Amino acid sequence: MTKNIDKILLAYSGGLDTSVSIKWLKEKYSAEIVTYTADLGQQDLDKKALKDKAIATGASETIIEDLTQEFISEYVFPALQAGALYEGKYPLATALARPLIAARMAEHAKKIGADAVAHGCTGKGNDQVRFETSFNALNPELEVIAPLRDWGFTTREDEIDYAKENNIPVQATKDSPNSIDENLWGISVECGKLEDPWQEPPANAYQWTRDIPDTPDQPTYLTISFKEGIPIGINGEALNPADLVAKLNKIGSTYGVGRIDMVENRLVGIKSREIYEAPAATILLTAHQDLSSLVLDRESLHYKETIQSKYSEMVYYGLWFSPLRAALQNFFTTLQGKITGKVKLKLFQGQCQVVGRKSESNSLYDEGLATYDENDTFDHGSAAGFIKLWSLPLKVAASCEQNQQQKETKANKSIKAI
Ligand code: ARG
């Protein structure tokens, strides 16, 4: 017998999908709907308006909580330390937020005695996978409902019509039906005009960053300080994690930094054209990687690079709460002790360029070894011996091949002679 569902905790953003979900769930189950919204640093989050809208759409109660610091410290910075970029480009803002939202929802569901949790994700995206995989990993007993997927609308236009018929105010229109997800680590935009991967994103698709012609005429310089892999200050000013990221978003946006336009491979097998804006992520990932090059030994650095993409895949695929993600995280954590120092960056017309780096305590850069002037301390003689041994296997193989060829030429000659 299926269990009675009287109370549902719904992940709610106030957007089209989740607003429509309130109505649907309420009608289908005749259940009480409680909405859950995480404040993850999305700009212009009007908690009062969100609450009013949820109640007006049919929710009996709303939970809105500020998770910004936790999001940055427990999810974003670990991903930064892992150099996480899906397919080398996407800093995973949406993907990192989902497991945190799911974890908090699982806790609240228990507290308020909800019989099920629900989300407004469609069947085509990654977010359904991330939510449900996280719910399953944290509370295997929890019932999960996905109204949009399971009794979904055929088109987004249908959904907009349904919202209008039910007096649900929505931002998306049929002309601009973009689907947007936003948090402090970045904003993700898909659908609408973006579905044609050949078409340049319309001007209004980018919401955080300035267009290059509107950026300042002169560059700006930033110095970011890291302590054991954690960014702690900008230009000498100490900042807490969330404030630091917010400030970099602001500066980066002014200089048009952090726009990403890509075709990505979703977990469900679909290729999708997405655009992202992630100024702070772009700046911090660039700086962290650069400082790593200065302080990590060559082999750790190279090994880290080989598993960065695996780690990014795990996060993208919704496997945050998996043993492998945790094990990989431990690997990155062991390297962070060395990542203390400063990185100097130049922002100009959409570019974020490292122009200097230093670490008083952990730099492995030895000017005496690197220099070509009279202060050179490198033992040039040792290079000759090194190369001799380094190339020994190739030399042996080449001699072997030569001998073989000589033998074959001799044999051919004697056959001809017969
Ligand atoms: N493609 C990105 C991801 O899977 C962004 C998803 C954005 N979600 C949304 N509801 N617009 O992480």
Q: Give me the DSSP letters along 302-332.
A: HHHHHHHHHHHHHHHTT-TTSHHHHHHHHHH
Q: Which residues contact 181 (CB under 8 A, 6 or more apart)?
A: 13, 93, 94, 97, 127, 187, 188
Domain boundaries, the chain: 7-68+94-175, 183-369
Q: Does domain 183-369 have CATH number 3.90.1260.10?
A: yes
Give, for 132, the enclosing helix (H) or strand (E). Answer: helix 127-138
**Do residues 208 and 37 make contact, with C-beta atoms less than 8 angstroms apart?**
no
d(CA 334, CA 120): 38
User: What ranges make up the beta strands (E) of 60-184?
Assistant: 61-66, 116-118, 143-145, 179-183
* Ligand 1 proximity of 37 Cβ (cutoff 6 Å): no
Match 């509370």 to its residue by tokens.
139
Among 115, 127, 181, 290, the one annotated catalytic: 127
What pTM value is reported for the model? 0.94
Q: State if residue 188 touches ligand 1 by the CB under 6 angstroms criterion.
A: yes
Cα 158 to Cα 152: distance, rounded to the nearest angstrom? 10
Q: Among 42, 133, 178, 181, which residue has the most ligand 1 atoms within 8 Å of its CB, making it the best to mutate?
A: 181
Q: Which residues of 54-67 are buried (b: 16+ CB within 10 A; e: fewer)?
A: beebbbeebbbeeb
| 227 alpha-carbon distance from chain centroid | 22
Going from the Cα of 62 to the center of ligand 1, the distance in angstroms, rounded, reads 24
pLDDT tens digits, the chain, 418 residues: what are they? 467 899 999 999 998 889 999 999 999 999 999 999 999 999 889 999 999 999 999 999 999 999 999 999 999 999 999 999 999 999 999 999 999 999 999 999 999 999 999 999 989 999 999 999 999 999 999 999 999 888 766 677 888 888 888 888 777 666 566 788 999 999 999 888 889 999 999 988 999 999 999 999 999 999 999 999 999 999 999 999 999 999 999 999 999 999 999 999 999 999 999 999 999 999 999 999 999 999 999 999 999 999 999 999 999 999 999 999 999 999 999 999 999 999 999 999 999 999 999 999 999 999 999 999 999 999 999 999 999 999 999 999 999 999 999 999 999 888 888 7
CATH assignment, 7-68+94-175 = 3.40.50.620
